Amino acid sequence: MKKLSFLLVLILGLGLFLAACGTADEEGGKDENAGDDAKNEEKTDFSVGMVTDIGGVDDKSFNQSAWEGLTAFGELNGFTEGEEFAYEQSNAREDYIPNLQRMVRDGYDLIYGIGFELKEDITTVAKQNPDTHFALVDDILDTENGVSITFKEHQGSFLVGVAAALKTKTNKLGFVGGVDSPLINKFEAGFIAGAKSVNPDIEVEVQYAESFADAAKGKIIATSMYDSGVDVIYHASGATGNGVFNQAKDLKQNDPEREIWVIGVDRDQHEEGQTGDYNVTLTSMVKRVDVAVEKVATMSMNGEFPGGEQLEFGIEEDGIAFATTNTEAMTEDIISTVNEWQDKILNGDVNVPQTREELDAFVKELQ
């Protein structure tokens, strides 16, 4: 009987020992998996999205620059497109609120509205969702859970205006705007001020397409301008500007000896000007929406979201520049002169106008 009791005790002890080992292994396995889960959770703990304006994410301009910044942010942090960073495309104004609300429902921590045309709708959605962060590019978002990202477009427009004045052979320039608005008026005013600072007698024809997504209208306007003797057109019109490029390239193909130019906007649009052996892109007013988008996303991810603030990017903040990619068109003399005017802006010797009223006063001082 004693032997039987001892044997039972031994078996029970061995069972407890094996159970304990099994539990330890299981717990060890859980800890290991938990570590992986923690890493995955850490990786996906922050997500950011953007809602485009009507121009679309591939407008080769403003929206595309914003998406490039968001993509760079995602790749830098090992995020997956469509999960930790994504976009919703707007094909009409009616898409803004549904797109914004969809991103809120999907749990994105930071949501960008790309373009001033989203101001009203993103303000509404931001106030309805105080626990979500929002960012509006190109206008003021007056909410504590929102940040406003703006640029000194007039500065860069002044610089490309200088380049256009130095390049023109006809002393006739053109400006094609998207929607006639305070924002695009900054581009217009800066461009004309820069051109007339070089030559007060230069003529600048101004037309607005009233759309950022109408390439056909852009082509019609460009046709009229080039036919009237304009040889350099600066566009600030999003995807509408694709039509300006198309017309310039068509004219260049038909008459390779003709000097005809387009000045791009937001991104370096050098590629858009390539036609055979020629490139009609003189320069571009580079607005670093990509840099601003990436910076604010990083701040938000790090718990430093600048809620209620306005962040403004200009030449000094590396948010505004002019492109020198077309080395045949942008000669060393032109680049040197543009840089001289850039120094004057940075030194405060030139106060670039932002409105038509300020432009009128600026031009009067030149006379």
pLDDT digits (tens, 9 = 90+) for 114-134: 999 999 999 999 999 999 999
One-letter amino acid of 275: T
Give Dmax over CA atoms of the chain in angstroms. Answer: 122
Superfamily, domain 48-151: Response regulator (3.40.50.2300)
More confident residue, 18 or 47: 47
pTM above 0.85, yes or no: no
For residue 257, the model assigns a pLDDT of 95
Return mean pLDDT, the chain. Answer: 90
**Residue 61 — pLDDT band, cuts 50, 70, 90?**
confident
Question: Residue 70 above 80 pLDDT?
Answer: yes
For residue 160, the model assigns a pLDDT of 98
Domains of the chain: which residue ranges?
Answer: 48-151, 153-287+331-366
116: DSSP letter:
G
> Once rounded to an integer, what is the mean pLDDT over residues 259-282?
96
Pick the CATH number of 153-287+331-366 from 3.40.50.300, 3.40.50.2300, 3.40.50.10860, 3.30.1600.10: 3.40.50.2300
For residue 44, the model assigns a pLDDT of 53
> Once rounded to an integer, what is the mean pLDDT over residues 231-240?
96
- pLDDT for 167-211, tens place per residue? 999 999 999 999 999 999 999 999 999 999 999 999 999 999 999
Q: Distance between the two ends of the chain, CA-based, in angstroms?
A: 122
- pLDDT for 125-172, tens place per residue? 999 999 999 999 999 999 999 999 999 999 999 999 999 999 999 999
Q: Of 7-21, 35-49, 232-246, 316-330, which gets the smallest average pLDDT?
A: 7-21
- pLDDT for 239-254, tens place per residue? 999 999 999 999 999 9
Question: Residue 4 above 80 pLDDT?
Answer: no
Residues 94, 111 contacting (CB under 8 angstroms): no
Which 3 state secondary structure label does DSSP give 158?
helix
Q: Which two tokens stand for residue 281?
A: 């892109």
Which secondary-structure segment (H or E) carries 192? helix 182-198
For 360, phi then psi, to 5°, come to: -60, -45
Which 3 state secondary structure label does DSSP give 78?
coil
The answer to whether the 48-151 and 153-287+331-366 domains have the same CATH topology is: yes
Which 3 state secondary structure label does DSSP give 81?
strand
